[in-house]
Amino acid sequence: MKKNLDDYLNALTPRQRKIVDDLAEELIAEEMNLQELRKALQHSQQTLADKLNVKQAEISKMERRTDMYVSTLRDYIESMGGKLEITVSLPNLKSIKINQFDLLNIETPQPMQEIAAGKVVKSAKRKYTGTSTAKNSTKPGAKKTTSKAKRRAS
């Protein structure tokens, strides 16, 4: 007669069952996505949204994202009471903790709402014209010179 997993687990002593359950819990805890982590810690999306000053929908989007800023991920983890640590696994070496992100500013360069919404505000690129804007400004009542008139005067 074949045994299924439940039959096998039910035949274990309470001590053996605890060992199996503890090992299973360890394996499950080793890898989670953001949504699973949030649920395991019994936080709702709305709770995190309130802590991060964003809408609940932004938390949902964040949890589905596969690419985000380190600071966004750090804020998400810290809102649940955790600390983000980044480690690297390389062949023939033990795990190495990357520490350059430990010193991220407490204030992120962009509002969390914009980052959570996936909106990246890039600084405007200015073309160098060789003259400052102060020299090009017109005084009240002065005649404004167009670029065509400037070329004719040259």
What residue type is assigned to position 138 of the chain? Answer: T
Provide the 8-state DSSP code for 93. S
Cα 48 from Cα 23, distance rounded (Å): 30
Give the pLDDT confidence of 133-144 residue by residue, as tens digits. 444 444 455 555
Provide the 8-state DSSP code for 138. P
What residue type is assigned to position 91 of the chain? Answer: P
Whole-structure pTM over 0.75, yes or no? no
Task: Please tell me the predicted confidence (pLDDT) of residue 149.
Answer: 55
Provide the 8-state DSSP code for 10. H
Give the pLDDT confidence of 6-58 residue by residue, as tens digits. 888 888 899 998 988 888 777 766 788 999 889 988 999 999 999 999 999 99
Q: Which two tokens stand for residue 110?
A: 């962009």
Cα separations in angstroms, 45 against 5, 21, 83, 115, 123 = 35, 28, 18, 16, 31
The residue to which tokens 């649920």 are assigned: 39
Residues 6+ apart with CB under 8 A from 89: 95
Ordered by where they begin, the domains of the chain are 32-120 (1.10.260)
